[in-house]
Amino acid sequence: MKYVDEYRNPNAIQTYAQKLADITTQAWTIMEICGGQTHTIVKFGLDQLLPDALSIIHGPGCPVCVTPIETIEQALWLAAQPQVIFCSFGDMLRVPGHDRDLLTVKAQGGDVRTVYSPLDAVKIAQANPDREVVFFAVGFETTAPATALAVHLAQQQQLTNFSMLVAHVLVPPAMEQLLAAQNCQIQGFLAAGHVCTVMGYGEYETIATRYRVPIVVTGFEPLDIMQGIYHCVQQLEAGTAQVENQYARSVERAGNLTAQSVMQQVFEVCDRSWRGLGTIPNSGLRLKPSYAKFDAAQRFALPKLIVPSDTLDNAKENTNSDCISGLVLQGLRKPYQCSAFGTKCTPEHPLGAPMVSSEGACAAYYHYQSLTHSHPSTSS
């Protein structure tokens, strides 16, 4: 199958593993900032093929995981309102708030529905004019164009019962936040190919120059990732810091201008709180004032929700001191270094969001750990 089988060719992958062994002369740390890439790395054991000196760490590449608990609590409140049909992607249903999740609200009688697109929520609003329909708009730049299109269509159709709880986040500001941290270990980045398919990679060039860090736009198949790592290490060994595009079959420097135009029509940039990272300036999207009537936060005058102080600790998740998902999202710990991993915390009973999402690092290690090598002691 074109663009699948050839990117899972074991011989080609081993060839790049040998190339990496040949050129790596010192220790390097590279972060991938895409949950899809995380799962590929763990599922196919790519980290086991790398030289011992080369470390791959996982960043906040899961938009479900970085949605802050304050926003989750707002979603839970909305979903519990009797007049509301609350629509969400399936990954969000088990993300823990303070003491419950959306599935719990559904079990208690809330009308919570799983949708595959924000356009599905628009159709539900059309079919239920006597109900308030709220869509939980979560995601990176990848899903924002579809959200913007849904708002645009709701405007055209003059829907008065449709709104969104918007929690979209932007990747480049988070990368800068990580690079500016005092304890930063990152020497190179694999950039998310799907984000760059929409937004291009011009914005990354500024980051590469400012922080002297190579960035390689990378796809999601095993060979994509091995090639991305190879190009990154080539730059590190040569002392250069540029943006390279490994994922040229999908990504152009300018990105998808049509998608960007729809986003710019509906959204404006704002500060956004990230679970595990805190508030990052200019890292989110919110509806422009001209579309404020579709803003669920304004439509419902959401109450000020009191969240226990330790839920805002960058190192912790919820009120459970065993969970270190904040550190996992920052790339400072691997999932298996959490004492609760696989015991107190499982996909069926998650303590933190990275164990819930299909793009979460903890879920990746949990599902594929039997396919990979034994991990170091969890006490490290």
**Band (333; pLDDT cuts 50, 70, 90):** very high
Q: Average of pLDDT values for 300-318?
A: 54
If one compares 166 and 380, the residue with the highest pLDDT of the two is 166
User: pLDDT value at position 348?
Assistant: 87
pLDDT digits (tens, 9 = 90+) for 32-41: 999 999 999 9
Whether residue 378 is predicted with pLDDT greater than 80 in this model: the reply is no
pLDDT digits (tens, 9 = 90+) for 232-279: 999 999 999 999 999 999 999 999 999 999 999 999 999 999 988 999
CB 36 within 8 A of CB 245: no
Q: Average of pLDDT values for 144-164?
A: 97
Q: Average of pLDDT values for 277-301?
A: 95
Q: Average of pLDDT values for 75-99?
A: 94
User: pLDDT value at position 322?
Assistant: 82
Whether residue 316 is predicted with pLDDT greater than 70 in this model: the reply is no
CB 31 within 8 A of CB 331: yes
User: pLDDT value at position 304?
Assistant: 65
Whether residue 154 is predicted with pLDDT greater than 60 in this model: the reply is yes
**Band (3; pLDDT cuts 50, 70, 90):** low
User: pLDDT value at position 302?
Assistant: 81
- Report the mean per-residue pLDDT for the chain: 91
**Band (6; pLDDT cuts 50, 70, 90):** confident
User: pLDDT value at position 321?
Assistant: 65
Whether residue 320 is predicted with pLDDT greater than 60 in this model: the reply is no
User: pLDDT value at position 305?
Assistant: 59
Q: Average of pLDDT values for 91-101?
A: 91
User: pLDDT value at position 2?
Assistant: 67
**Band (307; pLDDT cuts 50, 70, 90):** low
- 40's CB contacts (< 8 A; 6+ apart) are 46, 220, 221, 222, 225
CB 196 within 8 A of CB 251: yes
CB 354 within 8 A of CB 347: no
Whether residue 59 is predicted with pLDDT greater than 90 in this model: the reply is yes
> Percent of the chain beyond pLDDT 90?
83
Q: Which of 197-201, 245-249, 302-306 comes out lowest in average pLDDT?
A: 302-306
Q: Average of pLDDT values for 146-150?
A: 98
Whether residue 58 is predicted with pLDDT greater than 60 in this model: the reply is yes
- Return the structure tokens found at 128: 């239920």
Q: Average of pLDDT values for 217-239?
A: 98
Q: Average of pLDDT values for 120-126?
A: 98
Burial of 370 per CB tally in 10 Å (0-12, 13-18, 19+): exposed
